Structure 1
Amino acid sequence: MSPGAEKAFPVSWDQFHRDARALAWRLAGIGTWQAIVCVTRGGLVPTAIVARELGIRIIETVGVASYHDYKTQGSLDVIKPVSHKVIDLNGGDGSAVLIVDDLVDTGKTARVVREILPKAHFATVYAKPMGRPLVDTFITEVSQDTWIYFPWDTGLAFQPPIAQSGGG
């Protein structure tokens, strides 16, 4: 999470599915790709949706760990690199590869992945201002001080009205 983030943006499964399909729709008008590199773990769900919608069957992962306790971004570790077979597609320049993640926040993870595949097309469902310049396509921008609660990270619970919680 970005330093000082205070606003909550809970995303339901329905909303996330619609947003990921909107991302696929937008990507369909841009080009065709031979493979998707999914930034794990957050990119797993949108990658499945985008791959289905675009008919992409080659799906690779890159594991970059940065959020070590869900809210504090620490040092970046590439814990699972991209296979050379995928990097070498289309002459090895990465232009035949689509990178998918759920969110670009500060851009630290995106920078690491961009170094691996500098000519790939980078797409995220959500983007924050600090990371937005590092992605080519996204659906929704939220403020830097917003924490997105993804449906796979939450359960149903009472939420106090904004006026009572001091937000807004």
Structure 2
Amino acid sequence: MEIERSLEPLTKSDLKELYEGCVKRLHEYFLVGQGRKWLELYDIKQPLAVALCQGAAMHYHDKTNGVKDFDVWFFYPFNKKHLPYRTYWNWDYQNPKFGRHPSIPGYMGRKVDVLVRSIKSYADNDPVKTIHQFMRHENTTSSKELAKKAVVMLAPERLLGKVVWYKQKI
């Protein structure tokens, strides 16, 4: 099924599948690939928070936005040097219920973008507060763009599916 925006509801099971696929994709780069150099500064297995953001996150919350693609963000505490913030990794989420976007070639399902950010403004052991501080205090293009839509937690697991941000003005 080819459709620009899937209106199928996202479930916690879908969120968990997205999270697991993104972890796998990041590990391919950071643990066994070219990104191993970052392991001196960052524990890639221990992000502060992982969240589904932007349009798909809005759809999870409002059930009307639709899903064009998925944007999953991994937030880490800044350590001497920022993680590659202009780089992102993709993978093909082939859950048939979401179909395929007709103008994104090379994917059997929906494209998933995996992004990492090392952030200076965070709260130890409080992922929700970390997201809020990033949105309100980092003052970056990314934080401003993400604030315009929604953020749904993927990790830690106890927060899976919690909407922690929805179209707030900063």
Query: Under a length normalisation based on structure 1, what TM-score does the superposition of the two structures give?
Result: 0.26
Report which of the two structures shows the higher radius of gyration computed on alpha carbons: 1
- Indicate the structure with greater strand content: 1
